[in-house]
Structure 1
Amino acid sequence: MLPPARPRKLAKVPFVELADGRLQGVVSSGSDIERVYVSSVAAGDHAFACSTNNNRPCGGARGSFCNHIRALINEAVLQYGAGRVARYLKVEIADEEAGAPAIADGMSSANPPQADSKAAATVFSRFLRHLAYLELAPSTAPLPEMQWFPPTRAVA
């Protein structure tokens, strides 16, 4: 686990991750507190998707990245750093300091992005699973689902 490149605010993009060959996450709606958008961009071909938590397509994601996807890229750069995000998405950028706009432009100019709505259910499910951890009482006891390595046995 690497520390965030820079602190980020969770109100606009509460969940962002580089996983399953995609930059994916959840972006809050600017107009409705009960609505979120599930957004993703695939590494390599840069196929993208953006839809509401009710599985309705985003009106702004028609042939190009919507504001939700741009916000997701922005927060990913804050979380992981521009270089890591660009490498993961297989985007060549001239200057890492240019950040999220350079990454978005690099994806848009290399190949026109194609729509891909297959990831929405998986991304939203992962987000809800992460939210469940916030409801747990503070404890130092291990969580079974967070134990990735088997316990080591003492060699006799």
Structure 2
Amino acid sequence: MSDWERSSTARVIPPARPRKLAKVPFVELADGRLQGVVSSGSDIGRVYVSSVAATTYAYACSTNNNRPCGGAHGSYCKHIMALISEAVLQYGAERVARYLRVEGADGEPAGLAIAVAMMETHPPQGDTQAAAVVFSRFLRHLAYLELAPATAPLPEMQWFPSTRAVA
């Protein structure tokens, strides 16, 4: 077991390539999905919560106030395509394809190749389960950005078991 596996902190993997956060401020591979938040191209106050499930490629895309995306009918909308492209920048095409269990995603650009391979394997189906969880995680990440730099522990991160005996 390596040192980082025995530590109480998670290993931070640097991005595969730098990303611009204006279009897709939040992207992650978590809960068996590629999920994130994509900014609206037409309204600065609106964001879309988008996700694609591993293996089944079921997708979801809705606004931050739970209105369904108008472009997500029977295929991936532009928000999901942007999410896939940004995930490739953040994690690399090989890792994204492996996480989503996509076979035969060869070609350029990598994000488009992954989306095409997913659509050829399993036609996309809707899935509305993830939106609230993804948006909540995004808001939690934003709250950390507002904190002043400090070395003191954060109370919400104090869930690690204590080595001290309680009397």
> SS of the counterpart of 1:8?
coil
Give the unaligned 5+ runs of structure 2.
1-11
Structure 1 range deviating more: 91-100 or 134-143? 91-100
- Post-superposition CA distance 1:73-122 (Å, at most 9, x none): 00000000000000100101353764101100010000101000110000
Aligned residue pair count? 153
Q: Is residue 143 of structure 2 the alignment partner of residue 141 of structure 1?
A: no
Q: Report the equivalent of 1:83.
A: 94
Q: Report the equivalent of 1:31.
A: 42
The equivalent position to 1:8 in structure 2, one of 11, 14, 19, is: 19
Equivalent position amino acid for 1:137 in 2 = A
Percentage of matched positions with identical amino acids: 79
Give the unaligned 5+ runs of structure 1.
none
Give the CA RMSD over aligned residues: 1.6
* Deviation of the 1:6 alpha carbon: 0.6
TM score, norm. by length of structure 1: 0.92
* Whole-angstrom CA distance in 2 between matches of 1:2 and 1:17: 12
Q: Is residue 125 of structure 2 the alignment partner of residue 125 of structure 1?
A: no
Equivalent position amino acid for 2:62 in 1 = S
- Post-superposition CA distance 1:118-138 (Å, at most 9, x none): 100000000001010011111
Equivalent position amino acid for 2:80 in 1 = I
Q: Is residue 119 of structure 2 the alignment partner of residue 108 of structure 1?
A: yes
Q: Report the equivalent of 2:5.
A: none
* Whole-angstrom CA distance in 2 between matches of 1:96 and 1:139: 44
Structure 1 range deviating more: 134-143 or 3-12? 134-143
The equivalent position to 2:56 in structure 1, one of 45, 70, 85, is: 45
